[in-house]
Amino acid sequence: MSRSVVILGTQWGDEGKGKVVDMLTEQADAVVRFQGGHNAGHTIVVEDQQTILHLIPSGILHDGVECLIGNGVVLAPDALQEEITMLDRKGVQVAERLRVSPACPLIMPYHILLDQAREKKRGKTAIGTTGRGIGPAYEDKVSRRGLRVADLFDEPYCNQRLEDIVDYHNFVLREYFGFDTIDLDDMKGLSRDYAEILAPLVADVSARIHALQADNRNILFEGAQGTLLDIDHGTYPFVTSSNTLAGGACAGSGTGPGSIDHVLGVVKAYTTRVGGGPFPTELFDDVGERLASRGKEFGATTGRARRCGWLDAVALGRAVRINGVTGLCITKLDVLDRLETIKICTAYACGGRPFDPLLMDGRAFERCEPVYEELEGWQESTSGATELSQLPEQAKAYLYRIEELSGVSIDLISTGPDRGHTIVCNAVY
């Protein structure tokens, strides 16, 4: 039986999705990205060799696997070209196996300028975006102003559209932000380069997914960012600009909800966040520093230090509900090795009273004080464990408690960055 599985982050991103997708691709025929753009940074480690992917699906290191970029992804063709070249240098053949939807909105240089101008203007309340033009590109899509991949192949139409778009954005850049403007002819020239890069890669991604499913093939849908960064359900306005949820996999690739068989929620054994915004379980002490250094918590896209804290089971419960998570993958368990105690946030309070916010937006999250449950830590190493029986009793107790609190069973446990550092509890395929 073929299976289509969505893999997504249940926290604020960087849960280890890349590693899990790469590991599961062993049994998959295609991997699909359905939202976000090159704001993502997905790290794969195979025999000590690290590869960081931003746009290309994390299945690319497996020969013969198709990698599809769905219509929900905002696409920067120059970033894509850079990634293809990086992989080519590593001996990974990309061109034959990568396909891009013609409906992908394009990220153009003015989006990057606008992203930077907005952040600068926000000052202290800056979102801490990746500065890749993601938000402005999605804005152009929703305002029905943007250019899409398909538009590149009709030069007169593309040029005409660019005249209006550049005029509009230059007005905003100059008059509102006091920023430098962009040159229309430069954009027209760039669109020719982009057409050349993308021409061999364009395909009907939705039709391809349907054909694979009809042929009983296994497909992985690879989420980027995480549930708490979702534009609708996350800690708004400190979020990204796409739907990062499982529901986004359908709209962002052109497939129906009925074709999704399993939703694997990736949960880091603690929590990290990069950029601004509230984070109730954030640690400012030496335990937080220890998680950051043991977990090597520096951004895979921007190199920024990630903020660290305890696992938030309230937010996880919400993530399970809004994504319809049917299995968990706990990552970076090894980072918790040798802590005396481990805390899990099991409820929120506000001013010392129980607090259950209606909406988990940024303002409500700011008021949430974590109520913790304490568990005993373990003093042994779990690093690289591949069997449940290798784990100390306290580590198992922590995992069982996560299952209990979330109401979902654990399929996979990751105990190190390498593909092989994984415990399989329930086979996903």
Closest CB to Mg ion among residues 293, 379:
293
Contact call for residue 134 and ligand IMO (CB under 6 A): yes
Q: Work out the burial of residue 40: count CB atoms within 10 Å of its CB; fewer than 13 is exposed, 13-18 middle, 19 or more buried.
A: buried
* 335's tokens: 């980072």
Q: Is 274 in the site for ligand IMO (CB under 6 A)?
A: yes
How open is the CA angle 383-428-8, to the nearest 5 degrees? 75
- Which amino acid makes up residue 51? T
Q: Of 22, 29, 38, 42, which one is the catalytic site residue?
A: 42
Nearest-approach distance from CB 81 to ligand GDP, in angstroms: 21
C-beta closer to ligand IMO: residue 275 or 295: 275
Span of 33-41, 80-88, 102-110, 281-289 interacting with ligand IMO by CB under 6 A: 33-41
Task: Using CB under 5 A, pick the residue from 8, 14, 28, 228 that binds Mg ion.
Answer: 14
As a whole number of angstroms, the distance between CA 423 and CA 411 comes to 9
Site string for Mg ion, 300-339 (x = CB under 5 A): x---------------------------------------
If the CB atoms of residues 36 and 41 are measured against Mg ion, the closer one turns out to be: 41
Interaction with Mg ion in 28-67: which residues (CB under 5 A)? 41
Nearer to ligand IMO, 212 or 278 (CB): 278
User: Pick from 41, 57, 265, 327: which binds ligand IMO (CB under 6 A)?
Assistant: 41
Choose among ligand GDP, Mg ion, ligand IMO, none what residue 416 binds, the Cβ cut-off being 5 to 8 Å by kind.
ligand GDP
User: Pick from 132, 148, 294, 421: which binds ligand IMO (CB under 6 A)?
Assistant: 132
Order of strands across the sheet with 262-268?
98-100, 66-69, 30-33, 219-222, 4-9, 262-268, 327-331, 410-414, 422-424
From ligand IMO, Mg ion, ligand GDP, none, which one binds at residue 57 (CB under 5 to 8 Å depending on kind)?
A: none
Distance CA 136, CA 131 (A): 10
With a CB cutoff of 8 Å and minimum separation 6, the contacts of 345 are 280, 281, 310, 311, 312, 313, 314, 315, 370, 371, 372
**Does position 323 bind ligand IMO by CB under 6 A?**
no
Cα–Cα dist 172/149, whole Å:
24
Tell me if residue 210 is catalytic.
no
Cα 100 from Cα 355, distance rounded (Å): 45
Binding mask 296-315 for ligand IMO (x = CB under 6 A): ----x---------------
169 is catalytic: no
C-alpha 134/C-alpha 382 separation (Å) is: 38
Q: Is 77 in the site for ligand IMO (CB under 6 A)?
A: no
Annotated catalytic residues are 14, 42
